Amino acid sequence: MTEREIRQVLNLTGVMPSRQLGQNFLTDAATAHAIVDHLDLQADDTVVEVGPGTGALTCHVVGRVKKVVLVEFDSRLAAALQEKFADRADVEVVHQDAVEFDLRRLFPERPIKFLGNLPYASGGAIMKNFLSVPHPFSRAVIMLQKEVIDRLSAAPGHADYGLLSLRVQSAWHVQTVMEVPPEVFYPIPQVDSSVAVLTPRSDLPAFDRRLFDELLRRGFGQRRKQLHKLMPEHDGWNSLIETLGVPATVRAEELNLSQWLTITHHFDDHPLKEIPQKGSEIFDVVDEHDQVVSQSTRAEIHAQGLRHRAIHVFVFNKRKDLLLQLRSKLKDNHPGVWDSSAAGHLDTGEDYATCAVRELHEELGITKETVVEVGKLSPSPATGWEFVALYAVQYQGALRFPCSEIDAVQWFPLAIIEEWVKKRPSDFATGFLECWELFGKTSAT
């Protein structure tokens, strides 16, 4: 779009650019095109653009991908976009504060990419809502004031390095790809802007994200203080310092991401933080009538496809959303896909309900004495030759899960899961898909 076209849209809509809404509109088509190019668009992609404004970036996306979702806070600009794209079924305009946008509805739309020339004032909150783990994006291209982009990508020793750098870099690879001068915006802002490409990281060891964030807040809360004075009470500070290879007087900003992950691991007191499962665990092997016939190791049972026993638990909150867990990438089967709230094998000699109560506690930190049986599945390749008893519980409260087993958890409305399962069954563990079908049949009766 040219500057003339942008001014025309603003005149027609009666929009006087608002500083509070960060309304500095891009007026240079070549810059807009170059920014969009960094999204590496594919025909199958869905793109979510936050703050499309007059559509300077949008016009380089529409028609090139499967679907475009535009989230615009300014009612007049949202209405103008709605009118402009009224005849396109592949463009959806959402008039909403992007900070409040419910990201969960995007999971069934994958592969999905994020685009935003973000408003300066609420850019941080918008990024937090869209780009925190778990999110559905395979790539994000964002433009913000240069100073903020510099903080996202900064390394230790740099003045811009801090809490924001570590938070973002713990989930994303950040690459600054463009600097954009003030003159290509209307109105002209007082600062330079930069563009960063974010791609999800899969190169880090498992760590407890909630604990990582808590420790960062402590460490950077009083930046000039020595770290050991800010950390929780814990034995072993000296050996930790030795492992990190830093002096005892170290401060938060002197440590890199890998060292912060070591600190997080040190303070993580979850009993299952180390290894997700052992091939040497012993389970009961059962016959076609679910009668115990022998015992064998987990590794043998899975390798030989022997019948054995497991439970799945569906945990619901008061709104009847279902909690799903994102399985750790370290799991020996179905790594990195979504699964039931809790699931696990029966220990040898254990009964189904006892196992469900135990797994709820071990995997989610939920203490329940009873669980309600929903139904049972017979062994098949989809269940991994497991007899599965499915249970349901209601729970509202804190959750705590071992990072070695679970990357993240999220409550999802049932309608979203239904759509997601239909569109992208490969996003789920096959055992969950079987349980979901069983749950659908039993709740319909």
Footprint of ligand SAM on this chain (CB under 6 A)? 21-26, 50-54, 56-57, 71-74, 77, 97-99, 117, 119, 122
Q: Which is nearer to ligand SAM, 44 or 102 (CB)?
A: 102
Exposed, middle or buried, 233 (CB in 10 Å: 0-12/13-18/19+)? exposed
The one-letter code for the residue type at 6 is I
- Plot region of 172 (φ>0 → left; ψ -120 to 50 → alpha; else → beta): beta
Q: Which is nearer to ligand SAM, 15 or 355 (CB)?
A: 15
Rounded CA separation 145/440 (Å): 48
User: Which residue sits closest to ligand SAM, CB atoms considered?
Assistant: 51
Q: Which is nearer to ligand SAM, 122 or 383 (CB)?
A: 122
Q: Which is nearer to ligand SAM, 52 or 219 (CB)?
A: 52
Whole-number Cα distances in Å, 258 to 170, 241, 350, 363, 414:
9, 13, 40, 25, 38
For the bound state, the minimum distance from the C-beta of residue 33 to ligand SAM, rounded and expressed in Å, comes to 12
For the bound state, the minimum distance from the C-beta of residue 44 to ligand SAM, rounded and expressed in Å, comes to 23
- Specify the DSSP class assigned to residue 202: -
For the bound state, the minimum distance from the C-beta of residue 52 to ligand SAM, rounded and expressed in Å, comes to 5
- Plot region of 60 (φ>0 → left; ψ -120 to 50 → alpha; else → beta): alpha
- Which of 204, 383, 359, 219 minimizes the C-alpha distance to 309? 383
Vertex 169 angle, CA 52 and 398, to 5°: 90
Q: Which is nearer to ligand SAM, 21 or 366 (CB)?
A: 21
For the bound state, the minimum distance from the C-beta of residue 103 to ligand SAM, rounded and expressed in Å, comes to 13
For the bound state, the minimum distance from the C-beta of residue 95 to ligand SAM, rounded and expressed in Å, comes to 9
Rounded CA separation 343/380 (Å): 17
Whole-number Cα distances in Å, 101 to 95, 106, 160:
10, 10, 29
Q: Which is nearer to ligand SAM, 13 or 340 (CB)?
A: 13
Q: Which is nearer to ligand SAM, 21 or 39 (CB)?
A: 21
How many residues belong to the chain?
Answer: 445
Taking 3-state DSSP, the helix, strand and coil percentages for the chain, each rounded to the nearest 5, stand at 35, 25, 40
Rounded CA separation 231/237 (Å): 9
Q: Which is nearer to ligand SAM, 22 or 402 (CB)?
A: 22
Residues sharing a CB contact under 8 Å with residue 28, sequence separation 6 or more, in sequence order: 184
Q: Which is nearer to ligand SAM, 41 or 282 (CB)?
A: 41
